[in-house]
Structure 1
Amino acid sequence: MLDTAIARCQALSRAARGLQGEAQSRTLAELEAALEELRGWQIAAVPAAGLTAMLELDLAGYVREWNEGAERMFGYPAREALGQHILFLYDGSEEGGDIAELLLEAGNAITAVRRRKKNGEVIWVHMAISLMHDAQREPVGMRVQLEEVNKALSHAEKLNLHARIIEDSDQGVLITDANERIVSINGAFTRITGYSPAEAIGKTPDLLRSGMHDAEFRAKVQAAMRGAGPWRGEIVGKRKNGELFPQSVTISAVRDGEGRISHTFSLFTDISVHKDAVARMQRMANYDALTGLPNQGLLQQLVAQALAEARRSQEHGALLVIDISRIGAISDTLGHEIGNRLLVEIGRLLRLCLREGDVLARLDGHRFGIALPHIEKREHAAIVAQKLIASLAAPVQIDGQHLQTGAHVGIAIYPEDGEDADTLLRGADVAMTRAALQPESGFLFYSEEMNQRAKEHLRIESELRHALANNELMLYYQPKVSLRSGRIVGAEALLRWKHPVRGLVSPGVFIPVAEETGLILELGNWVMEEACRQIRVWQDANLLMPPIAVNLSARQFDRGLPARMADVMARHGVQPEQLMLEITESLLVKGADKVIAIMNELVAMGLALALDDFGTGYSSLAYLKKFPISTLKIDRAFVIGLPYEENDCAIARAIVTMAQQLRQEIVAEGVETPEQMSFLRELGCDQLQGYLFSQPVPGADFERMLREGKRLAFGAR
């Protein structure tokens, strides 16, 4: 009669697919009644309690439940079995000593194994395992069912055993017919997805689709459902409440006696907890538990990746090791909790000194590591080291305690000091140890050459700050001369540093240091202030002044620049037409929209803009069309070869022609010979600036040139 009930369910399922409306509803109701009848047969066929061996194990394999069926199968009463490890049933023949109950994939664990009874007899048993979970879905143990292999089962008993195994499985089971309609699910399906049998049966598996997989992926799944072979993998499903969850899935097709596909079954497991556990394990393996920063292992992995990129781009990189002093003494005095909180705060302060792409890691107790994957110059690593040391100069406040620490930094440079992460880390560690023995330095490079260069860099920075505060800076003025009249029509204000010991220091030495350290902002403000002051002095002396050009750094070119210019001109009573602002090509790629808006404000104030060193960097016609530039300055690199170098002549000719078309004034820099002057004059260049007329001179000398009416002598070519 069980076979009859099964056949009736199958017939009703086929009939329901061919009907619609009320007839289909009536047939589906009959199908549900038939399924209830089948469930009744299955329940009736369950052996009396104790006939099936059933035991429960904890996750380590120790027995904590032992039913009557287990007593009868193995001969051990519960009092002898409880608390023992499952190994007491093993006959010793398991290859490699593996414990099947612990190694089998729970929920899909159906296998034949050998087990030993109390009397020594060895038997073969079918074993099915399912995981047991607590309320938070964390695994807490295993349920094991055992049936003797040589025990003859009736057809009804086999059906019942299979149904029980499927229903008790921790895996979700989904069976569809040839038309991809769901015909059966188990309890785990409902627990995992939230869909009851009434909500799922008759639908397609699309009700679980998350929409996160592409057409190619779905084609592989469809192929498995059409008999191309089992498919196994991980997919993202969707629960009834809309929550997405990862699942491990196996999909296979079932064929009837004639080889046609009659059904498809899917076994799936919610692996959310597993994924979370993997993520937690990865975090434990790669991150420091106290600070949350990468640990040494992850730092070395990231450095190895950065080095591979640096090799391709031929860039420099640096690895720094930082030793924080006094952590041990503070922990011993105030307790390890305070010491730990101090380390966390130090990690935060160090992170603030770094760029987004830099890596900060905690190596061990009071050592941190920093990777600087991309640095333009090797000396830049010293600037970062200074910032790191300075960030710990002030006491750190923890629970009202002001805790003073310090730091020593060792620096290794790629590729000079090593070409792999291990070598660089060792080099930086050695340098850090040496730095700790020389407290006055604070940091050291692994390379002595780099130490000397860094020291020179720091010396210049320190002395330049002193120069700003002690009036060691001055402006020189280099005249611009008209190639039509020969008269002085302007001048460029150039910064000079008169060192008390070394005399005049070349701008090529100190300007790059100022750019790298941020001192360029203070220098730029000083230059603008001094130029406006000098213009006002000349104005009060009734000197007829041509416009004075002042160079602007890209760092000065921000939204506050127009207001700063208005303020300095107002304080000194300087008119906009008395000034010209010179910018470099690098500024033009800073962000066109922002730059154009600032330029337009400056031009609206009456200030003129000149593009300096044209042709050496990023200039293009597109920039020149967009920006309100009134003057182009041909870089000296294209003037030096005139009129004999063919390429220089062609470039100069193209620049002059282009500027004329755009109605821009053209100034040639670095003109030193009459031949250069004559060639540029014939091209139509408007002005020259260079040693042919005058080198940069102090303000008093420039004033004398103006009063004497010094002019350029053209002569014959």
Structure 2
Amino acid sequence: MLDAIDRCLALSRQARGEQGEALARTLAELDAALIEARIEIKPAYIAAQDATLALDAAGYVTAWSPGAQQMFGYAAEEVTGQHVLFLYADDEDDGNIAELFFDHHPGESAARTEVRRRKKNGEIIWVHLDIELRNEGMLVRLSEANQALSDLDKVNLHARIIEDSEQGVLITDAHERIVSINSSFTRITGYTPAESIGKTPDLLRSGVHDADFRAKVRSAMQGGGPWRGEIIGKRKNGELFPQSVTISAVRDQHGKISHTFSLFSDISVHKDAEARMQRMANYDPLTGLPNLCLLTTLVGQALTETKRSGEHGALLVVEITRLGAISDTLGNEIGNELLCEIGRLFRTSLREGDVLARLDGHRFAIALLHVEKREHAGIVAKKLLTALGSPITIAGHSLQVGAHIGITVYNEDGADVPTLIRYADVAVAKAGQSIESNFLFYSEEMNQRAKEHLRIESELRQALQNHELQLYYQPKVSLRSGRIVGAEALLRWRHPLRGLVSPGVFIPVAEETGLILDLGAWVLEEACRQVREWRDVNLIIPPIAVNLSARQFDAELPKRVAAVLERHRVQPDQINLEITESLLVRGTDKVIDIMNQLVAMGMSLALDDFGTGYSSLAYLKKFPISTLKIDRSFVIGLPYEENDCAIARAIVTMAQQLRQEIVAEGVETAEQMAFLRELGCDQLQGYLFSQPVPAADFAAMLREGKRLAFGNR
């Protein structure tokens, strides 16, 4: 009998686990008591109606009432001789066998406890155990309990719920120090309890939220009411992640905040899914480009802005030709790859702010959200066509496609996106029937202007190659001596069919297309070549002024100028450089540095068309400019227009204070000359003395010593 008891106790220990020194002492005392007493277990009286069972001292069932059978579903013959552990729920892991090790006070023979037990069908129920200790063992009366939990059970249950929650839980004290976290907190953030307890929630701060946002969160932590929202957090490994957060404060019995708790979930997966949905709704799945939906949104916003600002935008629809034939011949896979490559080619031809979208199978759309001039849309269309000019290689196949482009300008042609696309489609259809151009504006007037613009650009490129350009020289005359003291080199284009083309016609086109860089380089080269030629024939030449475009003014300009001067063996003081006021508003520090390099080379700088730009007069003293040129628009009204006289007088006075030389442009009458001379203007340039003339005529003026006549004044 004692051997059976020992085996039973060992089985109990193994099944329930060791639970500390107290449990070990209790087991040892029971072992000793049983051995000393040599107890012989006898069946106890079992009431038929009650749910009762009798156990021996080791916990084996010795009797089982019909009421117990009804409660658990086991017959007496099924349970007699089994250890009471067979009634325990699988997750009963507190290590105690309630029927054997129950708390009772001295002098009491019965104890009551509430436990979970398992029925034969597997159902788990709560039961009350009334345990009476008898000489032959234990008598256990059972009654089914309701589901209400004791305060301790509730605390344990709440703790278990928090610990097993999929949400991260963070609890801080009144000093915002972390006092508790759950396992999901560690799983989501990577921080263990040892690494987080005692710290502040700042260890999760990502640094991406502004002060206003953080103030709202802190307000919730300080009792301003619950806060719910999304926060970007930072994991232990430095990775940022989006989280959905709820923050609330807990108050004690006196109403003071004792703790703050935060519940948060990692919503990276949801954000990724949301981003995928957004992408599916707004982007073409094949090319990755915006689709019609997103294009409509972006252009709709631009339409609203242009209505307010009065500026212009353009929408281009591009229809790719031969794509269907290629797909039919080589397969849809090749056709799809070709479409993607066309999209990449188009993207490289556009500005960063331009929108490239795919409308459907073989149509693209380009939204130029801002264009300075309507004709610029035609320049973009030509770039797109040029991008398709060379064969495209796909999977070893050299494929040639073309395109027809329709252009609408807003808000002139239409004021909503569907109308603009419809009109652009009309222009595409006309372009497909045209033998003159592969792109057309919806407006016929715009078509003519764009064609003229492109004609000038094309013929200007040919003019550079065919030597149709030449320099004319307009003398600058001293208002003190009347002698020629310089000249401005002016570009002229002698067209083989149209004769001399006005600079006002081709210079704006050159600026817009970038041809001004080639023209500017040619002008500097030709001016230096001509100066050298004059010196070689012993002609004394005053400084020649060359105009620079703002596009030419970059960090490499001093090197380029120095190379041209060296190539033609021209001294720097023989070439003056004229710039416009628009240049002064571009990155002051960079511009000044470039100017200083040029001046250090021995060159002089003049500010052309002074008074027509937007530069601050305070900037003038910062720039190493030696000459100011009064624009002709302020000279034409002299000496009768009061405003022109006041402006001219102010410019001359200011230049004198800055010790700068003053040149008046566009002087055509003796009255203008006399007024400027009295003001103290240094030089004049205009038809009163000479219009721009070819190099040979200017050389003749110098040889003859032509002078300005001041009259009898």
How far did residue 233 of structure 1 move? Answer: 2.1
- Equivalent position to 1:154, from 148, 153, 161: 148
Residues 577 and 274 of structure 1, relative CA distance in 2, 3 Å threshold: same
Q: Counterparts of 1:575 and 1:203 in 2: how far apart (Å)?
A: 73
Equivalence for 1:444: 440
How far did residue 612 of structure 1 move? Answer: 1.1
2:483 aligned with 1:487:
yes
One-letter code aligned to 1:154: A
Q: Counterparts of 1:227 and 1:563 in 2: how far apart (Å)?
A: 67
Task: Give TM-score, length-normalised by structure 1.
Answer: 0.74
Equivalence for 1:105: none
Residues 669 and 169 of structure 1, relative CA distance in 2, 3 Å threshold: same
1:413-492 alignment, distance < 5 Å:
413-492=409-488
Q: Counterparts of 2:97 and 2:471 in 1: how far apart (Å)?
A: 102
- Equivalent position to 2:691, from 674, 680, 695: 695
Q: How many residues align?
A: 587
Q: Counterparts of 1:485 and 1:386 in 2: how far apart (Å)?
A: 54
2:655 aligned with 1:659:
yes
Query: Could you list the per-position Cα deviations for residues 572-593 of structure 1 after superposition, in whole angstroms to 9, with x for gaps in the alignment?
Result: 4433333222222222233333
Q: Counterparts of 1:625 and 1:517 in 2: how far apart (Å)?
A: 33
Q: Counterparts of 2:225 and 2:490 in 1: how far apart (Å)?
A: 79
Secondary structure at the aligned position of 1:514 is classed as: helix
Relative to structure 2, which stretch is displaced further, 499-508 or 700-709? 700-709
1:479-558 alignment, distance < 5 Å:
479-558=475-554
Equivalence for 1:311: 307
Q: Counterparts of 2:243 and 2:673 in 1: how far apart (Å)?
A: 79
Equivalence for 1:288: 284
How far did residue 456 of structure 1 move? Answer: 0.9
One-letter code aligned to 1:602: L
- Equivalent position to 2:94, from 24, 30, 40: 40
Relative to structure 2, which stretch is displaced further, 206-215 or 242-251? 206-215
1:127-276 alignment, distance < 5 Å:
152-156=146-150, 165-174=161-170, 185-195=181-191, 208-210=204-206, 217=213, 220-221=216-217, 224=220, 228-253=224-249, 265-276=261-272
Q: Counterparts of 1:694 and 1:501 in 2: how far apart (Å)?
A: 27
2:324 aligned with 1:328:
yes
Secondary structure at the aligned position of 1:463 is classed as: helix
Residues 443 and 266 of structure 1, relative CA distance in 2, 3 Å threshold: same
Residues 49 and 311 of structure 1, relative CA distance in 2, 3 Å threshold: farther
Equivalence for 2:597: 601
Q: Counterparts of 1:360 and 1:472 in 2: how far apart (Å)?
A: 39
1:390-429 alignment, distance < 5 Å:
390-429=386-425
Equivalence for 2:382: 386
One-letter code aligned to 1:368: F
Q: Counterparts of 2:566 and 2:203 in 1: how far apart (Å)?
A: 73
Residues 428 and 536 of structure 1, relative CA distance in 2, 3 Å threshold: same
Q: Counterparts of 1:513 and 1:43 in 2: how far apart (Å)?
A: 98
How far did residue 262 of structure 1 move? Answer: 6.6
How far did residue 417 of structure 1 move? Answer: 1.2
One-letter code aligned to 2:489: A
Query: Could you list the per-position Cα deviations for residues 14-38 of structure 1 after superposition, in whole angstroms to 9, with x for gaps in the alignment?
Result: xxxxxxxxxxxxxxxxxxxxxxx99
Q: Counterparts of 2:213 and 2:176 in 1: how far apart (Å)?
A: 18
Secondary structure at the aligned position of 1:546 is classed as: coil
Residues 165 and 624 of structure 1, relative CA distance in 2, 3 Å threshold: closer
8 Å CA contact retained: 1:42, 1:160: no
Equivalence for 2:355: 359
Relative to structure 2, which stretch is displaced further, 204-213 or 585-594? 204-213
Secondary structure at the aligned position of 1:479 is classed as: strand
Equivalence for 1:580: 576
Q: Counterparts of 1:499 and 1:402 in 2: how far apart (Å)?
A: 40
Residues 568 and 255 of structure 1, relative CA distance in 2, 3 Å threshold: closer
Residues 537 and 173 of structure 1, relative CA distance in 2, 3 Å threshold: closer
One-letter code aligned to 1:445: F
1:630-669 alignment, distance < 5 Å:
630-669=626-665
How far did residue 212 of structure 1 move? Answer: 5.2
How far did residue 237 of structure 1 move? Answer: 3.7
Equivalence for 2:681: 685
How far did residue 459 of structure 1 move? Answer: 1.4
How far did residue 330 of structure 1 move? Answer: 2.1
Residues 190 and 574 of structure 1, relative CA distance in 2, 3 Å threshold: closer
Q: Counterparts of 2:591 and 2:214 in 1: how far apart (Å)?
A: 50
Q: Counterparts of 1:41 and 1:259 in 2: how far apart (Å)?
A: 40
Residues 42 and 596 of structure 1, relative CA distance in 2, 3 Å threshold: farther
Q: Counterparts of 2:555 and 2:248 in 1: how far apart (Å)?
A: 65
How far did residue 536 of structure 1 move? Answer: 3.2
Secondary structure at the aligned position of 1:361 is classed as: strand
Q: Counterparts of 1:259 and 1:557 in 2: how far apart (Å)?
A: 71
- Equivalent position to 2:708, from 703, 706, 712: 712
Q: Counterparts of 1:178 and 1:711 in 2: how far apart (Å)?
A: 94
Computing the radius of gyration from Cα coordinates, the structure with the larger value is: 2
Q: Counterparts of 2:576 and 2:207 in 1: how far apart (Å)?
A: 61
8 Å CA contact retained: 2:585, 2:615: no
8 Å CA contact retained: 1:46, 1:160: no
How far did residue 457 of structure 1 move? Answer: 0.7
1:48-127 alignment, distance < 5 Å:
none
Query: Could you list the per-position Cα deviations for residues 665-702 of structure 1 after superposition, in whole angstroms to 9, with x for gaps in the alignment?
Result: 21100001111000000011111111111112222322
8 Å CA contact retained: 1:487, 1:711: yes
- Equivalent position to 1:337, from 319, 327, 333: 333
Query: Could you list the per-position Cα deviations for residues 308-354 of structure 1 after superposition, in whole angstroms to 9, with x for gaps in the alignment?
Result: 33333322111111122222222222232322222222222111111
Equivalence for 1:148: none
Secondary structure at the aligned position of 1:40 is classed as: coil
Q: Counterparts of 2:519 and 2:97 in 1: how far apart (Å)?
A: 92
Query: Could you list the per-position Cα deviations for residues 581-615 of structure 1 after superposition, in whole angstroms to 9, with x for gaps in the alignment?
Result: 22222222333333333333333333222211111
Q: Counterparts of 2:511 and 2:238 in 1: how far apart (Å)?
A: 55
Secondary structure at the aligned position of 1:155 is classed as: coil
Percent of pairs identical after alignment? 77
8 Å CA contact retained: 1:671, 1:677: yes
Residues 482 and 329 of structure 1, relative CA distance in 2, 3 Å threshold: same
Secondary structure at the aligned position of 1:410 is classed as: strand
Relative to structure 2, which stretch is displaced further, 589-598 or 647-656? 589-598
Q: Counterparts of 2:345 and 2:578 in 1: how far apart (Å)?
A: 38
Equivalence for 2:621: 625
Residues 439 and 284 of structure 1, relative CA distance in 2, 3 Å threshold: farther
Query: Could you list the per-position Cα deviations for residues 481-501 of structure 1 after superposition, in whole angstroms to 9, with x for gaps in the alignment?
Result: 111111222221212222232
Secondary structure at the aligned position of 2:591 is classed as: helix
How far did residue 163 of structure 1 move? Answer: 5.8
Residues 264 and 583 of structure 1, relative CA distance in 2, 3 Å threshold: closer
Q: Counterparts of 1:536 and 1:327 in 2: how far apart (Å)?
A: 58
How far did residue 506 of structure 1 move? Answer: 1.1
Q: Counterparts of 1:277 and 1:327 in 2: how far apart (Å)?
A: 34
